[in-house]
Protein backbone atom coordinates (compact mmCIF):
# COMPACT_ATOMS: atom_id res chain seq x y z
CA UNK A 1 0.00 0.00 0.00
CA UNK A 2 1.32 3.36 -0.99
CA UNK A 3 0.46 5.57 1.99
CA UNK A 4 0.63 8.72 -0.13
CA UNK A 5 -2.68 7.60 -1.65
CA UNK A 6 -4.33 8.32 1.68
CA UNK A 7 -3.52 12.01 1.15
CA UNK A 8 -4.96 12.04 -2.38
CA UNK A 9 -8.53 13.33 -2.24
CA UNK A 10 -9.38 11.99 -5.71
CA UNK A 11 -8.34 8.49 -4.70
CA UNK A 12 -10.17 8.64 -1.36
CA UNK A 13 -13.38 9.87 -3.01
CA UNK A 14 -13.12 7.20 -5.69
CA UNK A 15 -12.65 4.39 -3.17
CA UNK A 16 -15.39 5.78 -0.93
CA UNK A 17 -17.84 5.57 -3.82
CA UNK A 18 -16.70 2.15 -5.05
CA UNK A 19 -16.49 0.17 -1.78
CA UNK A 20 -20.28 0.05 -1.23
CA UNK A 21 -20.73 -1.10 -4.84
CA UNK A 22 -18.14 -3.84 -4.39
CA UNK A 23 -19.77 -4.91 -1.13
CA UNK A 24 -23.18 -5.15 -2.79
CA UNK A 25 -21.68 -7.30 -5.56
CA UNK A 26 -19.92 -9.51 -2.99
CA UNK A 27 -23.02 -10.18 -0.91
CA UNK A 28 -24.82 -11.40 -4.04
CA UNK A 29 -22.07 -13.83 -5.04
CA UNK A 30 -20.11 -14.70 -1.88
CA UNK A 31 -21.25 -15.91 1.50
CA UNK A 32 -17.98 -16.24 3.42
CA UNK A 33 -16.74 -13.02 5.07
CA UNK A 34 -13.12 -13.98 4.39
CA UNK A 35 -13.82 -14.22 0.68
CA UNK A 36 -15.66 -10.91 0.76
CA UNK A 37 -12.72 -9.26 2.53
CA UNK A 38 -10.26 -10.75 0.00
CA UNK A 39 -12.44 -9.49 -2.88
CA UNK A 40 -12.55 -5.97 -1.41
CA UNK A 41 -8.75 -5.98 -0.87
CA UNK A 42 -8.25 -7.18 -4.45
CA UNK A 43 -10.43 -4.39 -5.84
CA UNK A 44 -8.70 -1.76 -3.71
CA UNK A 45 -5.30 -2.98 -4.92
CA UNK A 46 -6.33 -2.94 -8.59
CA UNK A 47 -7.90 0.48 -8.20
CA UNK A 48 -4.78 1.85 -6.47
CA UNK A 49 -2.53 0.55 -9.25
CA UNK A 50 -4.73 2.08 -11.94
CA UNK A 51 -4.87 5.39 -10.06
CA UNK A 52 -1.08 5.51 -9.62
CA UNK A 53 -0.49 4.67 -13.29
CA UNK A 54 -2.90 7.42 -14.36
CA UNK A 55 -1.19 9.93 -12.04
CA UNK A 56 2.26 8.93 -13.33
CA UNK A 57 1.10 9.36 -16.94
CA UNK A 58 -0.34 12.80 -16.15
CA UNK A 59 2.89 13.81 -14.38
CA UNK A 60 5.03 12.57 -17.31
CA UNK A 61 2.83 14.33 -19.85
CA UNK A 62 3.07 17.57 -17.89
CA UNK A 63 6.86 17.25 -17.61
CA UNK A 64 7.18 16.59 -21.35
CA UNK A 65 5.00 19.60 -22.12
CA UNK A 66 7.11 21.85 -19.88
CA UNK A 67 10.34 20.57 -21.38
CA UNK A 68 9.06 21.20 -24.90
CA UNK A 69 7.91 24.70 -23.94
CA UNK A 70 11.29 25.54 -22.39
CA UNK A 71 13.14 24.07 -25.36
CA UNK A 72 11.11 26.22 -27.75
CA UNK A 73 11.69 29.30 -25.60
CA UNK A 74 15.43 28.63 -25.49
CA UNK A 75 15.53 28.11 -29.27
CA UNK A 76 13.72 31.41 -29.82
CA UNK A 77 16.17 33.19 -27.53
CA UNK A 78 19.14 31.78 -29.43
CA UNK A 79 17.51 32.55 -32.79
CA UNK A 80 16.87 36.18 -31.80
CA UNK A 81 20.41 36.74 -30.50
CA UNK A 82 22.76 34.19 -32.07
CA UNK A 83 26.06 35.00 -30.37
CA UNK A 84 28.70 32.92 -28.65
CA UNK A 85 27.30 33.51 -25.14
CA UNK A 86 24.13 31.64 -26.10
CA UNK A 87 25.98 28.53 -27.33
CA UNK A 88 25.73 25.88 -24.59
CA UNK A 89 25.25 28.59 -21.97
CA UNK A 90 28.80 29.88 -22.12
CA UNK A 91 30.86 32.16 -24.33
CA UNK A 92 33.81 31.11 -26.44
CA UNK A 93 37.18 32.66 -25.92
pLDDT tens for each residue of 35-86: 999 999 999 999 999 999 999 999 999 999 998 888 888 888 777 776 766 5
Number of H-type helices and E-type strands within the chain = 2, 0
What pLDDT score does 93 carry? 46
Predicted confidence at residue 61, as pLDDT, reads 92
Q: What is the CA radius of gyration of the chain?
A: 25
Amino acid sequence: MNCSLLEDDDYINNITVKVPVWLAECYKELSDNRNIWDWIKYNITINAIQHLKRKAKERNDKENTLQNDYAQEAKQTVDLDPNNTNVNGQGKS
